[in-house]
Amino acid sequence: MKFGGSSVGGTEQLDRVAEHVLDKRALQPCVVVSAMGKTTDALFAAARAARGGDIDAALATIAPALGHAEAVAGELLGEHDAHALAAIAVVRDELHVLLRGVAMLRELTPRTTDTIVAYGERLTSLLLAALLAQRGATVLHVDARRFLRTDDRFGHARPQRDLIARLVAEHVAPHLRAGTIVVTEGYVGATAEGYTTTLGRGGSDWSAALLGEALAAEEVQIWTDVEGVLTADPRLVPAARPIDVLTPAEAAELAAFGAKVLHPSTMQPAVDARVPITVRNTLLPRGAFTTIDPRTDVAARNGIAALATRGPVTVLTMTSTRMLATSGYLAKLFAAFGALDICIDLVVTAEISVACTVEPDAPIERLVEQLAGLARVEIARDRAIVAAVGEGLRSAPGTVERACRALLPATPELICFGGNDRNLSFVVHRDQAAAAMQRLHDEFFPAVAPAKAAPARQPRPAARIAPAAGHTFEASP
C-alpha cells in the first residue's frame, strides 16, 4: 500500500491512512509513504538556499514543513509517545546540521542533495509507524536504505532489482510473514556503500512496485487523491472520468506523456512479477479505482483509453540537403543529441528534414553549433504534446481520422502514429493544448446521457483476454 503526499499531508489524512492500514492488517500490508504535501519541494529549495551561503534563508525555507510535521506528530501521538517525538526531533536536527554544512561550504553535490531530500519520506514513515503502534498494531519501521539498493546516479538512481529481491527477503518479508506491518520510505534507496540515493521525483510509486515485485505481492495499491486514472486531466477536461482498467503499457505511455498519475517506471517491475497495480482514492476507499493489469480486455473500448498532454516542449526541425540518398545521416544527427544528453520524445521525417520534440531546457544552442555543416535547425518553442493512448490503436479503423477531424479547425504541427500500437500524438501550440484535449475528449468519451441507465464504465473485472502476441513492454526509461 503506497500513500502519496496528499494522502499523508496532515492530521486527518494520516489518521485515515492509519485506520485504513489497520483495516487491511490481515492481508499483511507493506506500507510505503511519500513525503507530506510539498515537503520534497521545500527540501530542494532549502538545499539550494544553503548552497548560496544563506543558512537563515535555508532554515526558514524548511521551517514550515518541519513545523507542520511536528504539529501533526504532537496532535496524533500526544505527549506520551516520547520515543516517536524524539525520532522526529532527530530528523530536524540532522537536517539543520546538513544545511549548515552546505551553507558553510557553499557546495551542494548530487549526493548531498539526495541525503537532504530523503528526510521528507523519513518523517512521514516514522510518523505513520508510531501512529500504527499507538493504535495497537504490531508494526516495524524498516529504513528503505536497508533493501532498496541502487546504483550511484544520485538524483535519479537506478534500482538493482536482483539485489533488492535478496535484501527484501532478508529485511522485510520475514516481518510481514510474522504478521508485523512494515512501514518504509518511498523514493529513497542506497548504494552498496550506504550512500543515500533517490529514484527521481515521484519515485515513491516505483519503490512500491519494486517492493511488490520482491515480495511477490498480491497487488500494489497506489493510494492518491483521485479515483484512479482519469480519461484526461480534470483541470483541462472537467468531464474526465475514471478508467476501470488499463494495460501496463498504456499506463506507462500515459505517464510518459504527462498524465501525473504514476511514475513511468512503476509498471515494469509489476509487469515482470505479474502483480496488478491499482490506483485508488484515499478519500473514497470503497469508491471507483483503476486496475492496471496485462490481462485487460481492450477489445471492449472505442480504441482510446485516455488522453494526456505534456508541455511546454520545443520542436526542432533539422533540414539538410545531405539527407538525399545518403545512409547514416540520421545516426550522425542523433549522435549529437546523445553527446549532449538531450532526450528526444517524438520524431517525424520527411524527404530532407527531421522534426523532433525535446524538453524546453535542453542545451539547444550547443546542439545547433554541433550540427553546423550537417543541418539547419529551426526552433519552435512553447509547443505541447497531446497524446491519445489505447491498445490496438493502429488497427482500430477510423481512429486517426476521427481524432484529426475532432481537432478542427486547429491543425496539429506534427502527428506521430505507428511507433507502437497504442499512441497517437499531436504537437500543437501550447495555448491550444487545453482546447485540443477538450475536443478529443468530446469525440472519444462523449457524456453518457442520464436517461440511459447503461453504466458509463465497463464491468469489473474486465481482465479477460491475454495481451496480443508480440506484445512487449517497452516503457523502461
Tell me the residue nearest to Mg ion as measured from the CB: 202
Residue 109 CA to chain centroid, in angstroms? 24
- 264 near ligand ASP, judged by CB under 6 A: no
User: Within its chain, how far is the Cα of 97 from the centroid?
Assistant: 31
Phi/psi of residue 427, nearest 5 degrees: -110, 125
Task: For residue 242, state whether it binds ligand ASP (rule: CB under 6 A).
Answer: no
Locate 351 and state its grid cell.
524527404
Q: DSSP class of residue 150? A: B
Residue 394 binds ligand ASP (CB under 6 A): no
Cis peptide before 461 (omega within 30 of 0): yes
**Rounded to the nearest 5 degrees, what angle is found at the Cα of 60, between the Cα atoms of 57 and 65?**
140
In this structure, what C-alpha cell is assigned to residue 31?
Answer: 506500507
Q: What's the CA gap between 29 and 1, in Å, rounded?
A: 7
Decide which of ligand ASP, Mg ion, none touches 189; Cβ closer than 5 to 8 Å per partner kind: none
Contact call for residue 202 and Mg ion (CB under 5 A): yes
Q: Does 37 bind ligand ASP (CB under 6 A)?
A: no
Residue 40 binds ligand ASP (CB under 6 A)? yes
With CB under 6 A as the rule, give the number of residues binding ligand ASP.
11
242 near Mg ion, judged by CB under 5 A = no
**374 φ/ψ angles, rounded to the nearest 5 degrees:** -110, -40
Nearest residue (CB) to Mg ion, 269 versus 412? 269
Pair type for strands 139-141 and 181-185: parallel
Is 35 near ligand ASP (CB under 6 A)?
A: yes
The reply to whether 37 sits near Mg ion by the rule CB under 5 A is no
CB of 7 to Mg ion, least distance (A): 10
Give the 3-state secondary structure of residue 146: helix
Q: Residue 186 interacts with ligand ASP (CB under 6 A)?
A: yes
- Taking CB under 5 A as the binding criterion, the range among 85-93, 161-169, 194-202, 214-222 that sits at the site for Mg ion is 194-202
Nearer to ligand ASP, 66 or 437 (CB): 66
Interaction of residue 115 with ligand ASP, rule CB under 6 A? no
Q: Give the range of 85-93, 198-206, 281-289, 455-463 binding ligand ASP by CB under 6 A.
A: 198-206
If contact means CB under 5 to 8 A according to the sort of partner, which of ligand ASP, Mg ion, none does residue 203 touch? ligand ASP
CB of 443 to ligand ASP, least distance (A): 33
CA-to-CA dists, residue 382 to 310, 361, 413, 417, angstroms:
11, 11, 12, 22
Pick the binder of ligand ASP from 6, 13, 34, 291 (CB under 6 A).
Answer: 34
Give min distance, CB of 221 to Mg ion, in A: 14
- Cell numbers placing 22: 489497520
Q: Tell me if 258 contacts Mg ion by CB under 5 A.
A: no
| 242: preceding bond cis by omega (within 30 degrees) | no
131 with 76: CB under 8 angstroms? Answer: yes
DSSP for residue 230: B
Site string for ligand ASP, 316-345 (x = CB under 6 A): ------------------------------
* 116-135 residues near ligand ASP, rule: CB under 6 A: 120
Question: With respect to ligand ASP, which residue has the nearer C-beta, 39 or 320?
Answer: 39
* CA pseudo-torsion sign 348, 469, 229, 410: positive
Cβ at position 457, least distance to ligand ASP in Å = 28
Q: Distances from the Cα of 414 to the Cαs of 13, 243, 303, 395, 410, in angstroms?
A: 44, 28, 21, 21, 12
Closest by CA to 473, choosing from 401, 435, 399, 422, is 422
Q: How far is the CB of 365 from ligand ASP (least distance, A)?
A: 30
CB of 466 to ligand ASP, least distance (A): 31
Residue range at the interface with ligand ASP (CB under 6 A); choices 22-30, 162-170, 202-210, 274-282: 202-210
CA distances to 368, 376, 398 from 135, rounded to whole Å, are 61, 66, 57
Nearer to ligand ASP, 200 or 461 (CB): 200
Fill in the per-residue mask, 1 to 30: x = in contact with Mg ion (CB under 5 A), - = not in contact.
---x--------------------------
444 touches ligand ASP (CB under 6 A): no
- Asked if 18 contacts 128 with a C-beta cutoff of 8 angstroms, the reply is yes
Query: Which residue in 404, 358, 353, 349 sits closest to 385, CA to CA?
Result: 358
Residue nearest to ligand ASP (CB): 204
Which residues have a Cβ under 8 Å from the Cβ of 360 and sit 6 or more positions away?
312, 313, 314, 381
Interface residue list for Mg ion (CB under 5 A): 4, 202
Interface residue list for ligand ASP (CB under 6 A): 5, 34-35, 40, 120, 186-187, 201-204
